Amino acid sequence: MKILVTGGAGFIGSHLVDALIEHGHEVVVIDNLSSGFRGNVNPYARFYELGIGDEGLVEVFERERPQIVSHQAAQVDLRRSVTEPVFDAQENILGSLNVIVNAVRFGVEKLIYASSGGAVYGEPQYLPVDENHPVNPISQYGVSKHAVEHYLYLYALHYGLNYVVLRYPNVYGPRQNPLGEAGVVAIFARQMLCGEQPTIFGRGDKARDYTHVSDVVEANLLALERGTNALYNIGTGVETSDQEIFDTLAEALGYHGTPLYSQVRKGEIQRICLDWSKAEKELGWRPKLSLKEGIEKTVPYYRKSMAT
């Protein structure tokens, strides 16, 4: 199949592009390189340096005529969404709508959308959170990611667009930018390798669902053939605290320092983990890597990147 991947030069998107090409698909990548890197793009993919909100997107759809769109591109910085909510909405809502409209216009068979299980639900009423949990995001980022889910429902209802929403957890692994504002595993790893003192926002008991990028890619591959106009949590169902992330990385990297503790930032929830039983039942997906295994697969990448 011909598959267009938005954000294909980014952390998750580039891993997905690699896997799609390995499975024999023809892949087209769109990325404006605002947070992704040209060097991440598989040489066998066709690359367009373009933002999802650009008017030129229609020309790419017209030229390439993809059968599937995997929409991974987004403004993912929760803190920036709080301080620059208009920018966040322009990128995540209007940009995504541009993708959806063109997908319908050019007869795309399915659109797979990367949403956020860590942000759309808000502070959980129960754990693990399943797909029936109330959606009450407490950050502008969570609002923008959820808004696109409504647009997908609308375009399925009125225009016959087939879609799958994957609500991601906190994803980590190789290629995650350690200089960004998102991705605590990458940020802590770089700081530890540089001999710096990582900062934990809060007392260390804030907890998230950490899932290795290889497991997230596998969910996307399964969604190519399975799932119709449905949404799925992708995660481990395990709460992992900031302190546990620090301790696990410190052990893996041989770091003997202690963290700094600072004030919790606006828009951040205290606890979250995701019930993935629906994804197992309907997509045949389940997480494979434990946190310890995932960290062991990730640490060599950061050691190597810091040494070059």
Looking at the annotation, which residues are catalytic? Answer: 141
Give the length of the chain.
Answer: 308
CA quadruple 159, 32, 211, 284: dihedral sign: positive
What distance in Å separates the CA atoms of residue 279 and residue 288, rounded to the nearest whole number? 13
Percentages (nearest 5) of helix, strand, coil residues in the chain: 40, 20, 40
What distance in Å separates the CA atoms of residue 139 and residue 230, rounded to the nearest whole number? 24
Residue 307, class by beta-carbon neighbours within 10 Å (0-12 exposed, 13-18 middle, 19+ buried)? exposed
What distance in Å separates the CA atoms of residue 64 and residue 192, rounded to the nearest whole number? 44
Q: Locate 24 and state its tokens.
A: 């024999």
What distance in Å separates the CA atoms of residue 125 and residue 75, rounded to the nearest whole number? 27
What distance in Å separates the CA atoms of residue 228 and residue 163, rounded to the nearest whole number? 6
What distance in Å separates the CA atoms of residue 282 and residue 223, rounded to the nearest whole number? 9
Evaluate the omega torsion of the peptide bond into residue 128 and state whether it is cis, within 30 degrees of 0: yes
User: Residue holding tokens 């754990």?
Assistant: 127
Pair 4, 64: CB distance under 8 Å: yes
- Check residue 201 and report its DSSP letter: E
What distance in Å separates the CA atoms of residue 218 and residue 288, rounded to the nearest whole number? 10
* Amino acid found at 134: P
Evaluate the omega torsion of the peptide bond into residue 178 and state whether it is cis, within 30 degrees of 0: no
Host H or E run for residue 140:
helix 140-159
